[in-house]
A and B are shown apart, each in its own frame.
Chain A
Amino acid sequence: MNTGTKTPVIEVRDLTKAFGHFVAVDRVTFEVERGEIFGYLGANGAGKSTTIRILSGLLMPTSGQARVHGIDVADDPERVKRSIGYMSQRFSLYPDLSVTDNLEFFGGAFGMSGRPLSKRIDTLLEQVDLIHARTTRTRDLPGGMRQRLALASALLHSPPLLFLDEPTSGVDPSARRNFWRLIRELSHQGTTIFVTTHYMDEAEYCERIGLMSDGRLVALDTPANLKRTFIPEPIVRVESQATDLDPILQTLRADPSVVNVQTFGPALHVRIEKREPEPTERLRQRLKDAGFKAHLQPIEPTLEDVFLEAVTRK
């Protein structure tokens, strides 16, 4: 092992995967460092799952290279599988088996048995807070608990690298927060985590984010840097009691320093040219003059802003 320089846990170079004429992953290049939470963000069908499956040794790359722990996944997928945990997009544990039956089975699949396995199962059940449900059949578990059980089954053999494919899809918000608390704990303990999601708020938890669109990696950086790069202008959030936001929107668009106005639910996000010193004050005055009652507040751009910008810019 090379101790002096940090070797990346995942190295991907010009990775391409085509299914017939459809190119699911198109010349993607990135690296993931040890202990990092790396988020892969993109719409459905953008190539996120395909990338994860290649890195987990489940799919052969069409061209390019993918190394996990320094092992080329195309050469030796079996060695890769031993050192990773994989949680697929679909819940794929056995619904007719109990929580411990499932864990015992996947432990056996990784060659574990006897006391070490049952001790490991106890530890994990404690960690994911499922001790009380150990004899429950999996089909009777609510969504959030299933997700945690699936996570536990991917962690049985204590893999240093964890692949999570849309782990929180279809789970209620509080269960999602719970799940992410677990993921951050794991990361603190040194586990590298590669996670895909289409929830923008979840992406904020990641240390670095890759934005995928139509198989291409269109941006890659920390959430803060992505915002700085893609949305350099200040953003002002405009909220109003008015039922029709349209007149306000028209007034804002008429302002020469406003770059663009977008509707975000009940509010408007206004991007303003950078050189303006006190944009919020001036806009507030302007709306007041026009006779509108509105609440204005400078905000940080969200990753959703970044994502929309990155996808349209490409």
Chain B
Amino acid sequence: MREFVLRTSALAHKEALHMLRDRQVIFLALGMPLVLVLLFGYAVSFDVEEVEVAVVDHDMTHASRSFLARVDASDAFRITAYPASAEGAEALFRRSHLKAMFVVPRGFQRALDREEPADVQLIIDGADGTTARVIEAYASALALFTTADLISSVPTSTPLFEPRIRMWFNPRMASAVFVVPGLVAVVLAIITVLLSGLTVAREWERGSMEQLFATPVGRLSIILGKVAPYVGLGFLQFLLILVAGAYLFDIPLRGSFPTLVLAVFLFLVAALGQGVFISMATKSQQLAVQIGAITSILPSLLISGFLFPIANMPLPLRIVSRLVPARYFIACLRGVLLQGRGLSTLWPQILGLAALGIGIIAITTRRFRRRLD
């Protein structure tokens, strides 16, 4: 046991020396998270503001003008064109910045007066699906509020409900608050898988793995010694993103920090284990980088719940997502940072992370042969 600790720490110490002497690693490890936070925080935005729209008013009544005035007054839309008819909508979308067109049909006011459903046609440029969906949501909310107002201004008013929506945890519905916690997982996944993959493959390529095999160092020592320094580096990256997120995007920390630290630790072990596993299988730095990039970026971006809700995925993807550490980690990040949760409700996610981490280290150790044939 004493020898195990001695050997493992000798390996970890050596690995830390490699890391500290390689300026590229330090630059990559600390620079890339900042760049990505800025990029994602500012660029990946689902917020829709001041979308340019066109309006066609066939009704020309008080009610139709009042409705269109509300469209213009809202934060979401800005009317920039008044075509005579909807005919040229397609060409208009192609030529200009217009994203949508409201068409108020003849008989709008009459329908309202009779308290019958009054239709407003909304034509949306669907080329950008995300924006289109947000426009649709804004427009229907707008229609709902406006209808309530218009009808209540009509003398024969009936009791009406008025929806008051309040967004919890992210009252301004700012994308960054939603994106940055998920980004922590993506950034850590990419960097740790790549770095740990590179370091093991490098030993194979240089021939030092052979020299290492000629010593009595056990395989678990080799793996843990490789992983340990990068856990430290990963924590540093985590804190960096968290601080940057707090300063730039007002990301809060509402829940239990120790729970978050535990989640980070387990996530790092799982991601590093993945990197070590890949480079043991490939034994080549180039291959390890390629496979590492694909298997870390894609799952943690697409099937982790970062960008798309897991509940909306088809069953096979939902099953695969259970093997993606980022899935559990993102749940912990949002849970602790935004929702103020702690271990008492996040334990299933922590357990999932622990299982994946231990699993990948165990498989890697088992598959790892300290032989050259």
Contacts and interface: CB of A to CB of B under 8 A. Distances in A.
B208 interface: yes
Nearest to B9: A108
Contacts of B10: 104-105, 107-109, 113
B211 interface: yes
Contact of A58 (B3, B11, B21, B371): B371
A112 B217 CA distance: 12
B281 interface: no
Interface stretch (B12-20, B43-51, B315-323): B12-20
Q: Is the interface of B mostly helix, strand, loop or mixed?
A: helix
A96 interface: yes
Contacts of B22: 96
Nearest to B221: A109
A109 B372 contact: no
**Chain B, interface residues (CB within 8 Å), range:** 20 to 34
A86 B373 CA distance: 17
Interface residues of A, number: 33
A293 interface: no
Contacts of B212: 109
A92 interface: yes
Contact of B215 (A19, A81, A96, A104): A81
Given A59-B371, A108-B13, A88 B215 contact: no
B7 A111 contact: yes
A153 B208 CA distance: 12
Nearest to B372: A58
Given A58-B372, A92-B208, A97 B214 contact: no
Contacts of B211: 86, 88, 92-93, 106, 153
Interface string B127-166: 0000000000000000000000000000000000000000
A112 B6 CA distance: 8
Interface centre among B3, B22, B211 (most CB of A within 10 A): B211
Interface in A30-44: none
Contact of A113 (B6, B17, B18, B206): B6
Interface string A153-190: 10000000000000000000000000000000000000
A57 B17 contact: no
Interface of B: 3, 6-7, 9-11, 13-14, 17-18, 21-22, 206-208, 210-217, 371-373
Q: Please provide the 10 A-B residue pairs with the shortest distance between their CB atoms, ordered closest to farther.
A: A108-B10, A86-B214, A90-B207, A109-B215, A92-B207, A92-B211, A111-B3, A105-B14, A92-B208, A109-B217
